[in-house]
């Protein structure tokens, strides 16, 4: 599961927000969604820094995309090939994030 999954800590009386991002491969869905998760506090800065180091070693630019792109093949090819689901919370909201790659 993605590193930002925090299902056990979710409080039921918070408002639940579902975010679904749908688009073609390599259109920036995972990067945008990962950045949103980071900005909302759903993933620790140290994890993003680790992703940044690992992606630099592979000569890829995936620090935010890697929040959702968890398969090695996705990271190597710089493209999401699966549906990614993650859950995280802020002080007011519970979020579910779904990142879907479509083909024409």
Question: Residue 1 has what pLDDT?
Answer: 44
**What is the pLDDT tens value at each position of the chain, 104 positions in all?**
445 544 555 557 899 999 999 988 788 888 888 899 899 888 899 999 998 998 888 877 778 887 776 655 555 555 555 677 788 888 889 999 988 888 76
Domain spans, the chain: 7-102
Question: Residue 51 has what pLDDT?
Answer: 87
Fold of 7-102: Rossmann fold (3.40.50)
Question: Residue 74 has what pLDDT?
Answer: 56
Question: Residue 95 has what pLDDT?
Answer: 92
Question: Residue 46 has what pLDDT?
Answer: 94
CA distance 9 to 33: 21
**Rounded to two decimals, what is the model's pTM?**
0.71
Q: Alpha carbon of 4 to those of 46, 95, 104: distances in Å?
A: 12, 11, 30
CA distance 35 to 27: 14
């Amino acid at each position: 599961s993605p590193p930002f999954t925090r299902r056990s800590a979710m409080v039921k009386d918070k408002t639940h927000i579902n975010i679904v991002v749908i688009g073609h491969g390599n259109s920036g869905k995972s990067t945008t969604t990962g950045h949103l998760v980071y900005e909302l506090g759903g993933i620790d800065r140290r994890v993003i820094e680790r992703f940044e180091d690992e992606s630099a070693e592979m000569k890829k630019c995936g620090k935010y995309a890697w929040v959702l792109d968890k398969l090695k093949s996705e990271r190597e090819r710089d493209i999401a090939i699966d549906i990614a689901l993650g859950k995280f919370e802020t002080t007011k909201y519970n979020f579910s994030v779904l990142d879907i790659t479509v083909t024409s």
